A and B are shown apart, each in its own frame.
Chain A
Amino acid sequence: MSSSEAHSHNPYLAHHFETIEQQSYAARLGMWLFLATEVLLFGGLFLGYTVYRWLYPETYQACADLLSIPMGATNTVVLITSSFTAALGYHAIKVDQVKKGVALLWVTIVLAGAFLVIKYFEYAHKFHEGTLPGKWYTFEGLQAPGANIFFAVYFLATGLHGFHVVVGMTILAILAVRAQQGRYHAKNYVGVELGVLYWHLVDLVWIFLFPLLYLI
């Protein structure tokens, strides 16, 4: 049978697909749909942000002033750079420069780690100040209705985002190790493509979070 012969030619083709193009198309479409679900997941939080911004406009202003713009801005630069290195790494693997690609993926992971470290200092500062959400909100400097909610949104959104950073790092690390082992190269790179797509989404969410929470 022609289809089973085709299978024995390409070890990357799963049995239920006819061609590698079909398989890659399916994988890409699946990833894009998954990203859509992620957008909607964060969408709920963005909606909450908007509603409470509208209910407590002054408090939001005052709270945003408590966040450290330099730290947030640094993190934005770090994350955008990591997206760039991830894209370069993907491209390198696609053109069969696997070594370079692996190195770039590791650079991405290190940058992601830097993001988390900076985030850790920001969080620690908030713990110290007492600008925690809900009933732990003890900050004397700002006692306005809605402040606890701003920080609930802040911690939920950045916390969920931070969780995505950790997941993304794990995915990128798996990809890097596998590429090192020779699994990804010019003939099989869709896996890397999907992982990097995910990483771009993580970046993109932050690009919305940063101005909304810190700047305006």
Chain B
Amino acid sequence: MAHSNANHAVAEEAPGEELKLPAVSFWNADLGIKSWLLSLDHKRIGIMYMVLTLVGFLLGGILAMALRIEHLTPDETIMGPNTYNRVFTLHGVVMIFLFMIPAIPAIFGNFFLPLMLGAKDVAFPRLNLMSIYVYGAGALLMVWSMVAGGVDSGWTFYAPYSLSTPASLAPALFGVFIIGFSSILTGLNFIVTIHTMRPKGMTWMRMPLFVWGTYATSIIQVLATPVVGLTAVLTAIERLFGFGFFDPSKGGDPVLFQHLFWFYSHPAVYIMVLPGMGVISEVVSVFSRKNVFGYKMVAYSSLGIAFVGFFAWGHHMFVTGQSKFDAGAFAIISMLVGVFTAIKVFNWVGTMYRGSIAVRAPFVYVCGFLFFVVFGGMTGVAISSVSLDVHWHDTYFVVAHFHFIMVGATLMGFLAALHYWFPKMFGRMYHEGWAMLSAGLIILGFNASFIPQFLLGNMGQPRRYYMYSPEAQGLNVASTAGSSLLAFGFLLILIYLVYAIKYGKVAGDNPWGASGLEWKTPSPPPKHNFDSTPVVDEDPYTYRQKGEEVEHVVV
């Protein structure tokens, strides 16, 4: 049914004409497992990343459910306190380093960046392939550390606890270091690709906004990741040899650890969210049939977020004895991030205004994204006021804040991208009805999981504690119920997408009627993307100009 009531976008295909998959595409241009494992094709590398990061997501998700089940009662439910510590640490580490950071850039960036630019591949295909093996090696180390003794310091690895805990931290820390390399390689590759691989006519101001988002992300990846890599290695060395670098009992300074850690890890939250913002810019214009409102502002605000993001890390350290001046400066700089984000939000809403909106699954995720970013961002501005942070620091309020803005937004961007580009990657359509149902479940489930956590944090439930006081049980149960909905939504998506890969309706080159070079190739695209290098002579979005009337299509 989803296809019969298709909007104008689908109607472009002549009725009755049977669509066929191209006989040869990048999927079957070379055969055999080796042709995949050693492939230099950016599209195949994107697909392999998809498999790996989704395994990470599944693992992180199972751990999350275990945590929520544990919190059904104030005392022990299914695991002891030690296990609990390890589970929340691994949940954080796996979700952040194995899924959220690589997901959108490594899957959709790899697959679509060259296509959107009109290039044959990324600048360094070999490095690209190497990055996936580096990722795998780092991931294995992390998972191994989980089996070989567990990690219980939280994903933040704060010294001095991380120096003295008997758990086996060193492999996980080296894992962080190694995974960092894969992130650096991806970012470096994208920056060089964007600078050097644009064909004639693809000027900076003609680049799709997803490319801008990835560009800003890559800058952070390249400039911030080495610092966390060094910090992780220093911590591991310190554990092994006891140099005293971060250990106060030996004259070291644990606050230095926090500075080094957050110098990366604050910008890292923008590594996670900026690519999602790029996806939203693409999807919102396609499904509103209007050019992105304020293209330049959206593009520059990505760079603005990346830049300002480098100077906000101190808001994680308000309670470390920071001077009043520092605290004030970090608070104001943090709020600037909110300004750039708001610029984007207003522009996206402006794009929808008087457009011809097709409410399909990707568009629903855009709406979810806007909701999470606005509310998560506002709670961010709230906790960056120092006096409020002192109350909320290290409570569930912070947990809810970053899940709302970072996880919620990244997931919405990821799911929007997955549905929007699915037909291009696999050549077939997913089932719209099921997609709408799961989108509803996920957005609802996400709110139900984390709104109670805002309240819990405000009541004073600390994060990372095994037990909580009995009067908090109601909200905790509500949160667990919400996460079950969320999990169920994801399960549904997995099922109908896997089904669609094999049995979905053939999509055709451009099922959404979208502009953009990636839609000018067959679906799925051939191995070398374009038969001849395209010459670009128009803007990335060729829907309706500002002020031009959009004819509304009655569906």
Contacts and interface: CB of A to CB of B under 8 A. Distances in A.
Interface of A: 1, 3, 15-18, 22, 25-26, 29-30, 33-34, 36-38, 40-41, 43-45, 47-48, 51-52, 55-56, 133-135, 145-146, 148-149, 152-153, 156
Interface string B333-355: 00000000000000000000000
Nearest to A30: B192
Interface in B184-235: 184, 188-189, 191-193, 195-197, 199, 222-227, 229-231, 234
Interface string B20-42: 00000000000000000000000
A48 B244 CA distance: 12
Chain B contact surface mostly:
helix
Nearest to A150: B251
Interface residues of B, number: 41
Contacts, number: 105
Nearest to A133: B243
Contacts of B222: 33, 36-37
B260 interface: yes
A135 B223 CA distance: 33
A99 to B, nearest CB: 30
17 contacts: A18-B199, A26-B195, A26-B196, A30-B189, A36-B223, A37-B222, A41-B229, A47-B256, A51-B253, A51-B256, A133-B243, A133-B244, A134-B242, A134-B250, A146-B251, A148-B243, A149-B244
Nearest to A136: B241
Given A1-B532, A18-B533, A44 B223 contact: no
A115 B223 CA distance: 30
B119 interface: yes
A116 B245 CA distance: 26
Nearest to A37: B226
Contacts of B188: 30, 33-34, 37
Contact of A30 (B123, B224, B244, B259): B123
Given A29-B195, A30-B188, A40-B226, A148 B251 contact: yes
A29 B244 contact: no
B242 A26 contact: no
Given A47-B260, A48-B245, A134-B244, 20 more contacts: A3-B533, A16-B197, A18-B199, A22-B197, A25-B195, A26-B124, A26-B196, A29-B195, A29-B196, A30-B123, A30-B189, A36-B222, A41-B230, A43-B226, A44-B226, A44-B234, A51-B253, A145-B251, A149-B250, A152-B245
Given A16-B119, A55-B253, A43 B227 contact: yes
B377 to A, nearest CB: 28
A47 B246 CA distance: 13
Contacts of B231: 44
Nearest to B40: A16
Contact of A29 (B191, B199, B250, B533): B191
B244 A152 contact: yes
